[in-house]
Structure 1
Amino acid sequence: MFEHEMKEKVQGRVKITDFSFGVFRQVIEFIYTGRAPKLNQMADKVLVAAEKYDLGRLKAMCEDVLCKKLSVGTAAEMLVLADMHNADQLKANTLRFIRANAAGVTETDGWKMVETENAHLVSEAFRALVVDSVAAGK
């Protein structure tokens, strides 16, 4: 980009429009220091940026934060986020949480949205539930 006569080289800057200043500041801070001090407040958004820019360690840090925030009310949203951004650790933990709390999670508005917009995730959760039941001898 900076080797050819592109707009970014001529202007001496790159304009990033798909992330807020706050999110990108966390990304830059992580690149320079290995830390992202405000990750707890915006881990979901930073996860998206970490995935886009292939920052595996930052992505793992985001997944850790998000796993700690799993609840009946957030499980559906976390499952979709994990699926969309290849967050395997978050997805596995969320599926495990859903299996343990299926009665509550499936009653949420978030889960109803998953049923209509992400049916493949419902299938994954159901398969995991069946495997657990078979393993437990139920």
Structure 2
Amino acid sequence: MKEGDAAGVVHRDEMEAEVFKALLCFAYTDSLPVTEKEDEDVMYQHLLVAADRYNMERLKSICEEKLCKFINAATIATILTLAEQHHCEGLKKACLNFLRFPANLRALLDSDGFDHLSRSCPSVIKNLIAMSALV
């Protein structure tokens, strides 16, 4: 495929180069490349979005499973938002299980990410209210 005078270069502006490389690696080898440990959770978040966009259900499922291991007070708002926006029921369930503990729920409510979560995923807030009413 050739576009314009770009000498055969196709630009994917909505995706970082490393994420696109990982997506291609998975498409051709059915495996994920090794990533830096400190960037691993962010890579899986971006790959989940890409897998959903390109309807790569197996990759999406793998990313969902990997992200379950990164759920903590610092990541819960972002991961829960991703789970809701990309219809990842297993990941959403893992996030809600994490939030069953009052200290974890308090950490979410006190985080900067809570405002973004409440604006972008109001149905999740309804779930949280219902869940906190049962406690």
**Superposition TM-score, scaled by structure 2 size:** 0.78
Corresponding residue number in structure 2 for 1:124: 127
Which amino acid is the alignment partner of residue 78 of structure 1?
A: I
Code of the residue aligned with 2:33 in structure 1: it is P
Partner of residue 37, structure 1: 33
CA distances 1:43-63 after superposition (whole Å, capped 9, x unpaired): 000111000111111111111
Aligned CA RMSD, in angstroms, stands at: 2.5
Show CA shifts across 1:29-76 (max 9, x none). 001111112462500001110001111111111111211110112111
Which residue matches 1:63?
Answer: 64
- Among the aligned pairs, what percent are the same residue? 29
Gaps of at least 5 residues in structure 2 are none
Is the aligned partner of 1:49 residue 2:50?
A: yes
How far has the Cα of 1:14 moved from its partner? 4.9
Q: Which stretch of the first structure deviates more once superposed, 32-41 or 68-77?
A: 32-41
Q: Is residue 114 of structure 2 the alignment partner of residue 111 of structure 1?
A: yes
> What are the residue-to-residue correspondences of 1:70-109 with 2, within 5 Å?
70-100=71-101, 101-109=104-112
**SS state at 1:99 partner:** coil
Paired residue secondary structure (1:106): helix
Q: Which has the larger radius of gyration?
A: 1
Give 1:119 shift: 2.8
Q: C-alpha displacement at 1:85, in angstroms?
A: 1.3
In structure 1, runs of 5+ residues without a counterpart are none
Secondary structure in 1 aligned to 2:100? Answer: helix
CA deviation vs aligned residue, 1:97-136 (integer Å, no higher than 9, x gap) = 1122222322222124323453322112222344xx3xxx
Worse-superposed segment, 33-42 or 52-61: 33-42
Give the CA deviation at 1:13: 6.9
- CA–CA separation in structure 2 for the residues paired with 1:57 and 1:76: 24
Contact 1:76-1:105 at 8 Å conserved across structures: yes
Contact in 2 for aligned 1:26/1:38 (Cα 8 Å): no
